């Protein structure tokens, strides 16, 4: 069941709209369903783009594995998870550290995913890293820093003041020295909130920010104090305090005007700010925070605007210019985000004046032009590099506008066409005598199609040099957009050498085709011419054996036997040649009918049983009683005869031959396996090729019958292919036997 953003927001309205934490919703596959504005700002995403992301886009492998483990646990238990720390990649390529815990995300009582709630602890992580990297640096910053800092150590269930800086001495009028070594409850016995914050910071290892009110030196004058608690492993708490009374008073004075203008400035898509002349922030809108990557609800009031300037020393000139003119228009300011990332903004500012017209501050808006600024910078650099490449490339390049006018070309064009650059620029390419008339129309048509966005392949064509000679070139083109105008970049490559080679190759191919046709015709004619006398020879020898055998002596019978065997071998060769010719001319046809493959295999075995016994081979047969389906019985019998004959020829005496037949839902599969000479990889590559006879002789090959043409397995494969079947050979190598497997479709 799918749920939209409105249903999630309706269920968790207050959490998404008012929480100061990072809030997101994911399904159990890690895909994001929703997120609050603080999450989007922290990660630098627009809302729609963020919904196309998942945890896998934001987390490294280890963190991603932990996150999925937490998801499984929540899905299993239906309970809130423990707080976990993750390193999350932002859209800009940087990363932030966040402490998250998850709770079951339920809509209408059904758990559809996980609701994540987290705090951005990047700043704390940076502080921890800095502290770990340089104790001396920390000590100097700690002692001499302008903000009062106190260090407390956790001992025996409470916190003891172990150190403080000079600013703390000044802030407490030297009284802090009297409390060194005291427990926190002794120092702040009336401030349970302070003690609770210390305990929470230590137990949860988190950073806590608080603002409290206090009375200075026992007076009735109320002051405002900002306190920041930071945990430092293994057992320290850093407490930063800052008197923000003036800042709070400034905020209260501006409340009346803030109410008046807040709605207006909050709805602006551009950053809005109000600052004093010396650079103290008085007001700003959420877009200001978004552009500078601060939390959307974080107040920057009271901060120095130079904190956002990459080059603060330039602000004096900026203010001087505004005081002189009363405004600054489209001022380019190199700025810094909260995390120190460099951005470029464009300011439009004017003076704020009091009732008497005296300048009291600066008010203005700004937009982020970082991408545009970097693009223009890269464009200028690219133009410089492109011009160098354009002028020095060996390719001939011409730039043509959408009307067909040549607006630029490089020096190589002059060499290729024989024309000066000034003879070409400003001319319509259709009016120049470069493209022969017979090719012009096709080039013009291709040009107009290309301008409209139709993809055009490379074109080989002849162009005419200024001296009248024709030159073969390859033309390819690409579309360029320059200042919103469309241009065609035509690239010409000299291919005269390639064309000459292609012409030679074509001539040789024609000769090879003629020779191949002669070969096919010769094989076909010779095969059929040999067929007729072979019938007489084979028939005559068989007749002499059958009718007159008893009239011949042994010597004559041996001669007749040689004639008969030679005739049979020659007839087998001629039949194979005829089948090969039929294959090449596509005339080998099948005559399928329902037949029993088990019976066909038994018949072939019986026909070759004398040869099997003569070579003293052991044959093992595993066949079903019958296996009936449609196939060409004569041709499949030929296939089995070829494979089994080869197995017999290549298996030594006392070797084994196994024949196995089985079927599944769609195929009948039979295999003929032997323990013979085996096959090398090179030999298996030749097996099913035409005339792919394997030449094997020498020691260890004495028992092999080397007679044959190399056509049998070629024809076998063609027969199996015509049946839409498969045939393959397997062998572990020399002297390790071979196995031929044939698969035939049952339908």
The 3-class SS string of 579-628 reads HHHHHHCCCCCCCCEEEEHHHHHHHHHHHHHHHHHHCCCEEEEECCCCCE
More confident residue, 143 or 98: 98
More confident residue, 716 or 701: 716
Q: What is the pLDDT confidence band of residue 126, given thresholds at 50, 70 and 90?
A: confident
The pair of three-digit structure tokens given for residue 472, joined into one six-digit string: 């073969």
pLDDT of 699 reads: 53
Helix (H, G, I), strand (E, B) or coil at 240: strand
Q: How many CA atoms lie within 13 A of 454 on its CB side?
A: 8
Rounded Cα gap, residues 196 and 619, in angstroms:
91
Task: Check: CB of residue 282 under 8 Å from CB of residue 301.
Answer: yes
pLDDT of 144 reads: 81
pLDDT of 641 reads: 87
pLDDT of 635 reads: 83
For the chain, the farthest-separated pair of C-alpha atoms sits apart, in whole angstroms, at 150
Read off the pLDDT of each residue in 159-185 and give the average, rounded to a whole number. Answer: 88
Question: By CB neighbour count within 10 A (0-12 exposed, 13-18 middle, 19+ buried), where does 575 fall?
Answer: middle
Whether the pLDDT of residue 30 is over 80: the answer is yes
Alpha helices by DSSP H, 113-270? 122-133, 135-144, 166-171, 184-187, 192-204, 245-266
Whether the pLDDT of residue 3 is over 60: the answer is no
What 3 state SS string does 193-228 have? HHHHHHHHHHHHCCCEEEEEEEEHHHCCCEEEEEEE
How does pLDDT run across 663-682, given as a tens digit for each residue? 988 999 999 999 998 888 88
Report field, pTM of the whole predicted structure over 0.75? no
Rounded Cα gap, residues 270 and 288, in angstroms:
7
Q: Could you give the C-alpha distances from 281 to 296, 305, 307, 537, 554, in angstroms and in order? A: 16, 6, 10, 116, 126
Question: By CB neighbour count within 10 A (0-12 exposed, 13-18 middle, 19+ buried), where does 14 fall?
Answer: exposed
438: Cβ contacts below 8 Å, ≥ 6 apart: none
pLDDT of 386 reads: 65
Read off the pLDDT of each residue in 236-263 and give the average, rounded to a whole number. Answer: 77
Task: Check: CB of residue 237 under 8 Å from CB of residue 231.
Answer: yes
Alpha-carbon dihedral 366, 367, 372, 376, rounded to 10 degrees: -10
Beta bridge partners of 494: 473
pLDDT of 695 reads: 56
Task: Check: CB of residue 690 under 8 Å from CB of residue 712.
Answer: no
Q: Please give the mean pLDDT across all residues of the chain.
A: 83
Whether the pLDDT of residue 28 is over 70: the answer is yes
Q: What is the pLDDT confidence band of residue 334, given thresholds at 50, 70 and 90?
A: very high
pLDDT of 220 reads: 67
Cα R_g (the chain), whole angstroms? 46
Per the document, the length of the chain is 747
Rounded Cα gap, residues 227 and 242, in angstroms:
7
Read off the pLDDT of each residue in 294-315 and give the average, rounded to a whole number. Answer: 92
Read off the pLDDT of each residue in 719-732 and give the average, rounded to a whole number. Answer: 91
Whether the pLDDT of residue 151 is over 50: the answer is yes
Rounded Cα gap, residues 35 and 45, in angstroms:
10
pLDDT of 258 reads: 59
How does pLDDT run across 422-464, given as a tens digit for each residue? 888 888 998 888 888 888 888 888 888 888 878 877 888 888 8
How does pLDDT run across 476-521, given as a tens digit for each residue? 888 888 778 888 888 888 888 887 777 777 776 776 666 555 555 5
Q: What is the pLDDT confidence band of residue 1, given thresholds at 50, 70 and 90?
A: very low
More confident residue, 531 or 605: 605
Helix (H) or strand (E) holding 336: strand 327-336
- Match 């609800």 to its residue by tokens: 297
Rounded Cα gap, residues 523 and 576, in angstroms:
11
Rounded Cα gap, residues 143 and 655, in angstroms:
94
Which domains does the chain carry? Answer: 5-120 (3.30.450.20), 125-243 (3.30.450.20), 254-374 (3.30.450.20), 393-494 (3.30.450.20), 499-584 (1.10.287.130), 593-745 (3.30.565.10)
Q: Select from 719, 720, 741 the least CA-distant residue to 730.
A: 741
Query: What is the separation, in whole angstroms, between the first and last Cα of the chain?
Result: 44
Whether the pLDDT of residue 706 is over 50: the answer is no
Whether the pLDDT of residue 298 is over 80: the answer is yes
Percent of the chain with pLDDT over 70: 82
């Amino acid at each position: 069941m799918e749920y939209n953003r409105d249903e999630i927001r309706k269920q968790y309205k207050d959490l998404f709209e008012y929480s100061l934490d990072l809030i997101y919703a994911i399904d159990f596959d890690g895909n994001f369903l929703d997120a609050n504005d603080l999450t989007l700002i922290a990660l630098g995403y627009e809302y729609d783009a963020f919904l196309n992301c998942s945890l896998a886009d934001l987390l490294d492998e280890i963190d991603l594995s932990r996150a999925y483990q937490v998801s499984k646990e929540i899905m299993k238990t239906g309970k809130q998870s423990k707080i976990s720390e993750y390193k999350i990649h932002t859209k800009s390529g940087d990363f932030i550290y966040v402490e998250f815990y998850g709770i079951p995300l339920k809509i209408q009582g059904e758990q559809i995913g996980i609701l994540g709630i987290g705090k951005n602890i990047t700043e704390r992580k940076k502080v921890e890293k800095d502290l770990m990297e340089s104790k001396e640096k920390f000590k100097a910053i700690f002692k001499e820093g302008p903000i009062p800092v106190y260090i407390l150590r956790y001992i025996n269930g409470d916190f003891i003041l172990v150190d403080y800086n000079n600013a703390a001495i000044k802030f407490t009028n030297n009284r802090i020295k009297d409390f060194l070594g005291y427990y926190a409850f002794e120092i702040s016995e009336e401030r349970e909130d302070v003690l609770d914050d210390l305990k929470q910071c230590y137990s949860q290892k988190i950073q806590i920010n608080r603002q409290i009110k206090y009375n200075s030196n026992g007076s009735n004058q109320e002051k405002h104090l900002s306190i920041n608690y930071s945990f430092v492993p293994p057992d320290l708490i850093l407490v930063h305090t800052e008197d923000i009374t003036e800042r709070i008073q400034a905020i209260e004075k501006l409340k009346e005007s803030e109410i008046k203008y807040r709605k207006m400035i909050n709805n602006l898509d551009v950053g809005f700010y109000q600052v004093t002349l010396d650079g103290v922030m008085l007001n700003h809108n959420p877009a200001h925070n978004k552009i500078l990557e601060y939390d959307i609800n974080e107040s920057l009031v009271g901060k120095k605007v130079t904190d956002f300037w990459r080059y603060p020393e330039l602000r004096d000139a900026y203010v001087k210019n505004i005081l002189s003119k009363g405004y600054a228009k489209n001022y380019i300011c190199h700025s810094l985000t909260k995390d120190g990332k460099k951005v470029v903004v464009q300011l439009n500012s004017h003076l704020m004046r009091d009732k008497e017209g005296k300048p009291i501050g600066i008010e203005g808006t700004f937009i982020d032009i970082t991408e545009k600024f970097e693009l223009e910078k890269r464009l200028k650099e690219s133009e410089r590099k492109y011009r160098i490449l354009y002028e020095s490339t060996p390719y001939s390049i011409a730039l043509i506008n959408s009307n067909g006018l040549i607006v630029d070309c490089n020096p190589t064009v002059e060499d290729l066409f024989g024309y000066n650059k000034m003879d070409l620029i400003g001319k319509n390419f259709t009016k120049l005598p470069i493209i022969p008339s017979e090719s012009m129309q096709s080039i013009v048509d291709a040009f107009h199609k290309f301008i409209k966005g139709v993809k055009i392949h490379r074109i080989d064509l002849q162009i005419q040099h200024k001296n009248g000679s024709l030159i073969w070139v390859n033309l390819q083109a690409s579309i360029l957009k320059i200042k919103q105008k469309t241009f065609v970049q035509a690239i010409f490559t000299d291919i005269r050498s390639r064309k000459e080679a292609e012409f030679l190759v074509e001539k040789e191919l024609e000769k090879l085709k003629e020779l191949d046709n002669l070969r096919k015709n010769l094989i076909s004619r010779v095969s059929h011419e040999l067929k007729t006398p072979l019938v007489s020879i084979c028939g005559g020898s068989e007749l002499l054996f059958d009718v007159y055998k008893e009239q011949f002596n042994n010597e004559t019978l041996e001669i007749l036997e040689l004639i008969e065997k030679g005739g049979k071998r020659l007839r087998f060769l001629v039949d194979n040649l005829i089948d090969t010719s039929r294959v090449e001319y596509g005339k080998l046809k099948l005559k399928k009918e329902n037949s029993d493959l088990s019976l066909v295999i038994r018949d072939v075995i019986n026909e070759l049983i004398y040869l099997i016994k003569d070579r003293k081979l052991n044959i093992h047969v595993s066949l079903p009683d019958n296996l009936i389906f449609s196939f060409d019985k004569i041709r499949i019998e030929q296939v089995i005869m070829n494979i089994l004959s080869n197995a017999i020829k290549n298996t030594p005496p006392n070797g084994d031959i196994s024949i196995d037949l089985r079927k599944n839902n769609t195929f009948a599969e039979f295999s003929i396996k032997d323990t013979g000479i085996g096959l090398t990889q090179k030999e298996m590559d030749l097996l099913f090729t035409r005339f792919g006879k394997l030449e094997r002789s020498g020691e260890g090959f004495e028992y092999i019958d080397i007679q044959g043409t190399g056509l049998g397995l070629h024809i076998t494969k063609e027969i199996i292919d015509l049946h839409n079947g498969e045939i393959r050979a397997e062998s572990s190598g020399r002297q390790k036997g071979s196995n031929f497997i044939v698969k035939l479709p049952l339908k």
